[in-house]
Each structure stands twice: as structure tokens, then as C-alpha cells.
């Protein structure tokens, strides 16, 4: 029997998440980055398919709860936001950032869902590089949401 060799087809931004080996590397880097950041937080917030691939394993490893913000109202659920309604603090984990629109939308939706929850910042996983973390160049991947 021939061994199956996968060939992944995806949008550029999904490239590192759709391949299980690459996803494992991204999860490891995200966990490492959040651990050395040494910020206390209750929950990890995310949105979209790429967020759904990345945030849950990171949260599971760190023992954090999740808050998921849906893109569309008409989906599998009647809830726009689902997750830890009692979270006091959260960090957004996003696979890549460009305009900041996704992060702002997550913050706005969570304000309605859990008004007491405060966003501590955004972990921009596309900015993570092992050498930056080792050199403690934290500003390259950590952003504060205003």
C-alpha cells in the first residue's frame, strides 16, 4: 500500500495552519510567546476559521477559556459570540494582522457579550519568529488594542 503524501492547497494566510505539522509549530510559538509575556489573562478570543484552528489548542495548553466571535449572524448558532461570559481579561489570538479591523470587531462584540471583560492585547502570530522571541523583541508581535 502506497503512503499518502498530502498536497495542501490554501490561501496564503492559511498556509501555516492547514498543514498539521506547520500548525503545531505555530501553536508552540504562540504558547511560548504568551508564556514569556507573563500577562495574567482568563481567556483567548478569536474569530474565523484560521482563529478556530489556532486558538483552541493554544487555550488548551495554557488552561484558558475561549471566546469565539462569529463573522456572520446566519451560521450554525444563534449566538454572535460564544464562550466564557465571565472572563475578566482576554487576549486576542489572530493568525495575521493587517488593518486591525478584525481585532476591533472582536473587542466591540465582546463588550456587548461580556461588558466586564478587558482586552489586554493582540498576539499577531504572523509576526512570531523564534529568533524574535529569544531576543525578547516583544514589540514585533504584541499589540495593544485601543
* Residues 108, 66 contacting (CB under 8 angstroms): no
What are the pLDDT digits (tens) for 44-64? 999 988 889 999 999 999 999
* Residues 59, 79 contacting (CB under 8 angstroms): no
Band of pLDDT at residue 81, cut at 50, 70 and 90: very high
What are the pLDDT digits (tens) for 21-38? 888 888 988 898 888 877
The structural domains of the chain, ordered by start, are 12-70+77-143 (3.40.50.2020)
**Apex CA 128: angle with CA 142 and CA 116, to 5°?**
35
* CA 40/CA 90 separation, integer angstroms: 9
Q: What is the mean pLDDT of residues 64-73?
A: 88
Query: What number of residues does the chain have?
Result: 146
Q: Is the pTM of this model over 0.85?
A: no
How high does pLDDT run on average in the chain? Answer: 82
Band of pLDDT at residue 146, cut at 50, 70 and 90: very low
Residue 91's pLDDT is what? 94
Amino acid at each position: 500500500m502506497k503512503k499518502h503524501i498530502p498536497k495542501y492547497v490554501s490561501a496564503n494566510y492559511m498556509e501555516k495552519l492547514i498543514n498539521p505539522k506547520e500548525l503545531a509549530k505555530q501553536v508552540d510559538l504562540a504558547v511560548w510567546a504568551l508564556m514569556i509575556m507573563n500577562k495574567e489573562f482568563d481567556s483567548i478570543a478569536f474569530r474565523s476559521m484560521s482563529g478556530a484552528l489556532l486558538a483552541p489548542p493554544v487555550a488548551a495548553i495554557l488552561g484558558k477559556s475561549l471566546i469565539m466571535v462569529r463573522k456572520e449572524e446566519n451560521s450554525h448558532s444563534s449566538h454572535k459570540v460564544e464562550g466564557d461570559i465571565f472572563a475578566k481579561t482576554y487576549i486576542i489570538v489572530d493568525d495575521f494582522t493587517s488593518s486591525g479591523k478584525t481585532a476591533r470587531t472582536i473587542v466591540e462584540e465582546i463588550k456587548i457579550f461580556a461588558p466586564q471583560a478587558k482586552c489586554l492585547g493582540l498576539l499577531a502570530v504572523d509576526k512570531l519568529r523564534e529568533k524574535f522571541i529569544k531576543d525578547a523583541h516583544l514589540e514585533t508581535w504584541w499589540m495593544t488594542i485601543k
